Structure 1
């Protein structure tokens, strides 16, 4: 009886958390992304000169292709299990595991002060901000989309919005978005070979049948956009409704 009462008390708070996360995501889109997308970056001239509708069409075509490949990629991973793939994907998971990479990132940021390395300090601080933005967007979209994970029924078109069950939090991939959010600033400032690290996370999540191909595409896109724009943006002020100014 007591357990039932506690469960009833907790339920409203769970929905309150869900609504709050959705609100944070909407706020992120309204306040941050429109500003960031207009900021000057060091992107190639061919990309910067592309009209907005062209970028939207290109992104849509990419996701559409991913959608068509969702089932074939899932079926391939299901029909080709191997010990090496299992071990490799377990290792790559660690690169997107928040309990591992976030403490490592914070340690790197603290270590940059001891080393008096300004480049490392700036890059790691950018990665921290990138993680904060990406985490809000990722969790909010997961709950609002409510996409069923591949291992449940193998149906990539099954959505249950605002479902807090982890089996319905497939899109976007949190491991992939976190990995790209962290490693993108370092890849842009040090070596783009570093992109191989978050890429292996994305491949591993699909191989383990934890996510669909489009899940890791969306997650990787969120993390990469956040990390890339925060790295290259010349302006760091976001002006919101009512004259709200946020230094980021």
Structure 2
């Protein structure tokens, strides 16, 4: 039973995460955006919501010292104090080494991170979902509250790593890098459930939300830079 639950949960994470499939074949306009794809996100989130109590019970039962240490090592991958300096260092290094494309890509990634963080921060108090460790009831909500105990959805950790992973995957179009990014997202999502800070549906919904926000931000910026470049070329 335990293994089947884990497989389903991981499947849901990968199913609704665009970072799991950054490289796609081109499709005709008639096929793009089919009704089947429209249903992927709500169905995936609904399925993970149905697993909330069972996944929490499984996570609590599987606590060990080794997993506790592993969770602590995974946790920083979703925190600003690690991710922001990493992006800043990457940008400075790109400038010093003359790698303009990497510098621009890092700026796009940072922008996607900021927008996703703003959206996540705004939604937390509005939704007001109770964290699992408080009462263990996934159906308790108290909208428009400042209490951290009611800020379970969205997950800040998952939003942070997902926004960066999505931006990197979109810009690199590399299968190995996409796989690595998806793995990091899945690990941080697992950590938040394991540490009893979020429900499974919290992390899956956050992956979906941040992927969309991050992707939209990167696409807008790339379009903006492209128009600016074309305007400069025309002015010469």
Question: Do they superpose with TM above 0.5?
Answer: yes
Number of the residue aligned with 2:145: 163
Distance 1:218 1:47 in 2: 29
Structure 1 residues 119 and 84: alpha-carbon distance in aligned structure 2, compared to 1, 3 A threshold: farther
Deviation at 1:109, TM superposition (A): 1.3
1:214 aligns with 2:196: no
Instruction: State how many pairs are aligned.
Output: 197
1:71 aligns with 2:71: no
TM-score by length of 2: 0.76
Which residue in 2 is equivalent to 1:192?
A: 178
> Offset of 1:232 from its aligned partner?
4.7
**From 84, 90, 112, the counterpart of 2:72:** 90
Correspondence list, 1:123-134, <5 A: 123-134=105-116
Contact 1:173 1:216 in 2 (8 A): yes
Query: Cα–Cα, structure 1 residues 52 and 138, in superposed 2: closer, same or farther, change >3 Å?
Result: farther
1:205 aligns with 2:192: yes
Equivalent position of 2:99 in the other structure: 117
1:148 match? 130
Aligned-pair CA distance for 1:199: 1.8
Q: Is the 8 A contact 1:187 1:194 kept in 2?
A: no
Q: Which structure exhibits the higher relative contact order, with contacts defined as CA atoms closer than 8 Å and separated by 6 or more residues?
A: 2
Unpaired runs of at least 5, structure 1: 1-40, 238-248
Q: 1:178 aligns with which of 160, 175, 182?
A: 160
Q: Deviations over 1:37-92 (max 9, x none)?
A: xxxx9754469734475444221111110110111110101111111211111111
Paired residue secondary structure (2:154): coil
Give the distance between the partners of 1:152 and 1:46, measured in 2 at CA: 47
Over aligned residues, Cα RMSD in angstroms? 2.3
TM-score by length of 1: 0.72
Distance 1:187 1:235, change over 3 A: closer
Which of 71, 76, 82 is 1:100 aligned to? Answer: 82
Counterpart for residue 235 of structure 1: 223
* 2:7 aligned residue: none
**Aligned match of 2:211 in 206, 209, 224?**
224
